[in-house]
Amino acid sequence: MTCKLNSVDPLAYLTSTLKAIVNGHKQGYIDDLLPWAYTAKLEPAAK
């Protein structure tokens, strides 16, 4: 439900999150794996 509230595709989010964990994402940066952080990562950089 959090993915829907943040306009995130749940499958893409889970795939990305699981890949990050498998690739050694640091536990101290767990907030980077939450749906609203995933949304911010997808937005194009401000010009």
Full domain range(s) for residue 13: 2-41
- Is residue 19 included in any domain, yes or no? yes
- Is residue 30 included in any domain, yes or no? yes
Please tell me the distance from the alpha carbon of residue 2 to that of residue 26, in angstroms, as a whole number.
22
- Is residue 11 included in any domain, yes or no? yes
Structural domains of the chain, count = 1
Please tell me the distance from the alpha carbon of residue 13 to that of residue 17, in angstroms, as a whole number.
6
Please tell me the distance from the alpha carbon of residue 10 to that of residue 1, in angstroms, as a whole number.
9
User: What's the pLDDT at 42?
Assistant: 65
User: What's the pLDDT at 19?
Assistant: 93
- Is residue 26 included in any domain, yes or no? yes
- Is residue 47 included in any domain, yes or no? no
- Is residue 27 included in any domain, yes or no? yes
pLDDT digits (tens, 9 = 90+) for 1-47: 888 888 889 999 999 999 999 999 898 998 988 888 887 676 655 44
